[in-house]
Structure 1
């Protein structure tokens, strides 16, 4: 089955990946970060957290949470029709095709960034000398056991949803190129 602009619908597996990427941002990331943004000190070293929080950490956490909302919406756009054609409620763009490459590139960059961030967190928690003095850490070491799986799931599902978008919109891009190619008349 195809959607309104000729792109095939995502498969069930691809839809599940998109939903997982969205929920990883909205349910896996935001609640914990909003809790810290409001000053709750779960899984933190309280004395260090309070100083960090007052030095701008609270604002930083609110910004991160807002960005995670955008990441969740973006993940859904990879598997929904409004990710390929602007909906009618978008002024000046309604009904036009969403540019393919910015979406594909953003999906790739975000998924790779999340994966590299996870690798860095593993390195920082277990392999580096950053933790020589745990009393200087803002967050408790136990957070890694929550964060690493959550970020691996988020990055992996975003990769699958992004690849789905790339694959599904390739046919539309090829069709648009063939329509734009100049036609020659044989004599």
Structure 2
């Protein structure tokens, strides 16, 4: 069920949303799941073990769950269930999705991810000391991934906002 005041989703917005969702799930979750499982991939093994023992694994599982939610958020901006809750959602089935809440959340997450990306790049490009757990080369993997994630989410949110009323 689509509101008659909703315009079709542009192809560029669908591509941006799927690129962002894939970056959040396929790009982010596998590496963080490996770390959550205690595998010190691209990490100093001794420091990693200490960090992991102090709750690092739980932290990474929570981050992976949030990444999965961010992927769903992004797809909701270009799928019908971003307009009307699916019938299997308890208490909300077939009700209109609150547009302002969805748009505000999407822009806030996109802004946070972009700021985090800039901060992470600045940290690595700056005077990097040897105190880190993870290799500074992780930035070669992480920065492009976070840029795709944040920019794709921003574009999908922009499209959703522009075409819904």
**TM-score, normalised to structure 1's length?**
0.84
| Worse-superposed segment, 6-15 or 149-158 | 6-15
Q: How many residues align?
A: 164
Correspondence for 1:16: 15
Correspondence for 1:144: 139
The offset of 1:92, in angstroms, is 3.0
- For residue 26 of structure 2, give the secondary structure of its aligned residue in structure 1: helix
Correspondence for 2:2: 4
**What is the rounded CA distance, in whole Å, between the counterparts of 1:33 and 1:152 in structure 2?**
17
**What is the rounded CA distance, in whole Å, between the counterparts of 2:56 and 2:66 in structure 1?**
15
Q: Deviation per CA, 1:135-176, whole angstroms, max 9, x where unpaired?
A: x21101110110000001110100000101101113xxxxxx
**Structure with the greater alpha carbon radius of gyration:** 1
Q: Deviation per CA, 1:42-76, whole angstroms, max 9, x where unpaired?
A: 11111111100101101100110011111111111
**What is the rounded CA distance, in whole Å, between the counterparts of 1:90 and 1:50 in structure 2?**
40
Q: Which has the higher contact order (CA 8 A, sep 6+)?
A: 2
- For residue 94 of structure 1, give the secondary structure of its aligned residue in structure 2: coil
Q: Structure 1: which 4+ aligned runs deviate by more than 6 Å? A: none
**What is the rounded CA distance, in whole Å, between the counterparts of 1:55 and 1:95 in structure 2?**
44
**What is the rounded CA distance, in whole Å, between the counterparts of 1:148 and 1:14 in structure 2?**
22
Please, which runs of 5 or more residues in structure 2 have no aligned partner? none
The offset of 1:90, in angstroms, is 2.1
Q: Deviation per CA, 1:7-44, whole angstroms, max 9, x where unpaired?
A: 12211111111111110111010001001100111111
1:16-35 aligned at under 5 Å gives the runs 16-35=15-34
**What is the rounded CA distance, in whole Å, between the counterparts of 1:88 and 1:46 in structure 2?**
47
**What is the rounded CA distance, in whole Å, between the counterparts of 2:90 and 2:40 in structure 1?**
43
- For residue 50 of structure 2, give the secondary structure of its aligned residue in structure 1: helix
Q: Is the 8 A contact 2:20 2:153 kept in 1?
A: yes
Correspondence for 2:107: 108
- For residue 88 of structure 2, give the secondary structure of its aligned residue in structure 1: coil
**What is the rounded CA distance, in whole Å, between the counterparts of 2:51 and 2:119 in structure 1?**
21
- For residue 164 of structure 2, give the secondary structure of its aligned residue in structure 1: helix
1:1-187 aligned at under 5 Å gives the runs 4-6=2-4, 7-127=6-126, 129=127, 131-132=128-129, 134=130, 136-170=131-165
